[in-house]
């Protein structure tokens, strides 16, 4: 029998299949047995590429980090200042997380040894230091932005309300008379809330930056 032109299994194929499974069914759906079945291979063959299921999930999480645009932190940055660069990065970061919300708990653990996640952290920190933030402050800025973006991707505020007017009796909740409408406007409300919060956060950082410059100067 002729050998297949392409190998049956590859690291990329395992990661893509696992990511699709997590997106569709959640982290609990991933097992080496299930992945092997989805890929049409024997379970032991996975171990030629990954030693454990956790290694697979780490690689899947890193594939999401790799989707985040970092071009705004490259040298020159098309004339973008640190604030604009942070804004554009946060929007791209959130978009990647929102596309794969079931992987946010893995990503929230931190970059660990994941290459794409480490490149992301390095790019943000380096850009802040280059812009004039002291190293300790640059670390805080990167951490703060990560907390905000991760939190915004963990769930939907608007989606947490039910489309049932009777659930919000004005005698019990006098200010929630329109809350039943929120779920139907979920995407618009959540996007607007993210943008409002991001701009407020950047406004505060800009004030802090000026204070730091005065002290450092």
pLDDT for residue 217 = 64
pLDDT in tens, 170-206: 999 999 999 999 988 888 999 999 999 999 999 999 9
- Which CATH number describes the domain made up of 11-64? 1.10.10.60
Task: Work out the pLDDT band at 1, boundaries 50, 70, 90.
Answer: very low
| CA atoms lying within 13 Å on the CB side of residue 195 | 6
**CATH topology of 11-64 equal to that of 68-216?**
no
What value, to the nearest 5°, has the Cα angle with vertex 53 and ends 51 and 58?
A: 95
What's the whole-model pTM score? 0.88
**Residue % of the chain over a pLDDT of 70:** 94
What Å distances lie between residue 96 and 88, 102, 179, CA to CA? 13, 12, 28
pLDDT for residue 198 = 98
Q: Topology of domain 68-216, per CATH?
A: Tetracycline Repressor; domain 2 (1.10.357)
Show me where the domains of the chain are located.
11-64, 68-216
pLDDT in tens, 62-105: 999 999 999 999 876 666 799 999 999 999 999 999 999 999 99
């Amino acid at each position: 029998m002729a050998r297949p032109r392409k190998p049956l299994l590859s690291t990329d194929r395992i990661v893509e299949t696992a990511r699709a499974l997590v997106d569709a069914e959640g982290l609990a759906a991933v097992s080496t047995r299930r992945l092997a079945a989805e890929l049409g291979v024997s379970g032991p063959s996975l171990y030629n590429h990954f030693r454990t299921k956790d290694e697979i999930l780490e690689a899947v999480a890193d594939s999401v980090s790799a989707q985040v645009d970092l071009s705004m932190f490259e040298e020159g940055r098309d004339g973008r200042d640190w604030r604009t660069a942070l804004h554009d990065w946060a929007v791209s970061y959130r978009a990647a997380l929102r596309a794969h919300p079931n992987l946010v708990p893995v990503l929230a653990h931190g970059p660990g040894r994941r290459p794409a996640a480490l490149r992301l952290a390095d790019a943000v920190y380096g850009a802040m230091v280059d812009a004039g933030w002291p190293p300790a402050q640059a670390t805080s800025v990167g951490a703060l932005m990560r907390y905000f973006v991760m939190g915004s991707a963990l769930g939907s505020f608007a989606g947490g309300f039910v489309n049932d007017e009777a659930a919000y009796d004005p005698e019990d909740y006098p200010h929630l008379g329109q809350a039943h409408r929120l779920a139907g406007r979920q995407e618009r409300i959540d996007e607007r809330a993210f943008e409002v919060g991001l701009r407020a956060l950047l406004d505060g950082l800009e004030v802090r930056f000026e204070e730091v410059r005065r002290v450092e100067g």
